[in-house]
Amino acid sequence: MTTVDTQTSLTANLANITRTADAKAAATAPKGSDAMGKNDFLALFTAQLKNQDPTDPVKNEAFVAQLAQFSQLEATTNMATALTQMSSTIQGDRMLNAAGLVGRSVTAPGLPAMLSGGNPVSGTIALPNGASAVQMDIYDATGSLVRTLIAGTQPKGTPTFTWDGLDDNGKALPDGAYAINAKATVAGKSAPVPINMTGTVMSVATDPATKALTIMDQSGTRIPLSDVISVGG
């Protein structure tokens, strides 16, 4: 290959990086990919200078443009590295802050009604329009209805409720996870309404798929931290 052919080939390769988007892609591309990084760019640029045709050297404008491309690629690479470090720091800080929830009570959707040691179970009901009546049906692990709670008129908002752990006959039920379904009567029509149960945070973790923080209550149920509505003592 002649020096002129080498220059033509190298110039064609350099033409692959002509935009900011290309520079960013080259800076952030993983090792082993076909994308060009800043070290490849510098090696190619140096080779071009060494093998340029002395009778037709690179014009000043092209030389300056290539230097500008390299500077932009260097800046983009440094920015990507800084952002990665910042993301790791933020994730660590979030985990450290969330660890303070361990042992505290939280109220969130998706948690079961966990009966333990005869302690009452509590939660909230979502009633954006209030209700003339509310019925809560409590089911055990086998799906059997064990208790029905009836409440009268409720204002709009998220009123709290408490279940004492007794069945309809006043008998104490065994410890375990229970399901509670609620129906509210509004304008003469009955419809299901959401319930948010209160549980105790036992651990905090990062979801490996989404990288989002999650919490686990005493029943072993894990939910996203972002679903937590309120935090108690």
Looking at residue 16, its pLDDT comes to 42
What angle separates helix 20-28 from helix 60-98, to the nearest 10 degrees?
50
Task: Categorize the per-residue pLDDT at 13 as very low, low, confident or very high, splitting at 50, 70 and 90.
Answer: very low
What are the domain boundaries of the chain?
A: 3-99, 102-231
Range list of H helices, the chain:
3-14, 20-28, 38-50, 60-98
Looking at residue 189, its pLDDT comes to 92
Between residues 123 and 1, which one has the greater pLDDT? 123
Distance of CA 220 to the CA centre of its chain: 20
Coil/strand/helix, residue 54: coil
Looking at the predicted structure, is the pLDDT value of residue 137 above 90? yes
Looking at residue 95, its pLDDT comes to 72
How many CB atoms sit inside 10 A of residue 218's CB? Answer: 14
Cβ–Cβ under 8 Å, residues 46 and 66 = no
Looking at residue 57, its pLDDT comes to 65
- Range among 14-23, 75-84, 108-117 with highest mean pLDDT value: 108-117
pTM of the model: 0.57
Looking at the predicted structure, is the pLDDT value of residue 59 above 50? yes
Nearest to 231 by CA among 80, 82, 107: 107
Between residues 43 and 22, which one has the greater pLDDT? 43
Q: How many helices (H) and strands (E) does the chain have?
A: 4, 12
Task: Categorize the per-residue pLDDT at 135 as very low, low, confident or very high, splitting at 50, 70 and 90.
Answer: very high
Looking at residue 45, its pLDDT comes to 67
- Which pLDDT tens digit goes with each residue over 165-214? 999 999 999 999 999 999 999 989 999 999 999 999 999 888 888 778 89
Looking at the predicted structure, is the pLDDT value of residue 27 above 90? no
CA distance 177 to 111: 9
Between residues 110 and 57, which one has the greater pLDDT? 110
Looking at residue 101, its pLDDT comes to 85
> Measured over all CA atoms, what is the biggest interatomic distance in the chain, rounded to whole angstroms?
103
Mean pLDDT of 5-22: 42
Q: Which CATH class is domain 102-231?
A: mainly beta
Looking at residue 163, its pLDDT comes to 94
Looking at the predicted structure, is the pLDDT value of residue 108 above 70? yes
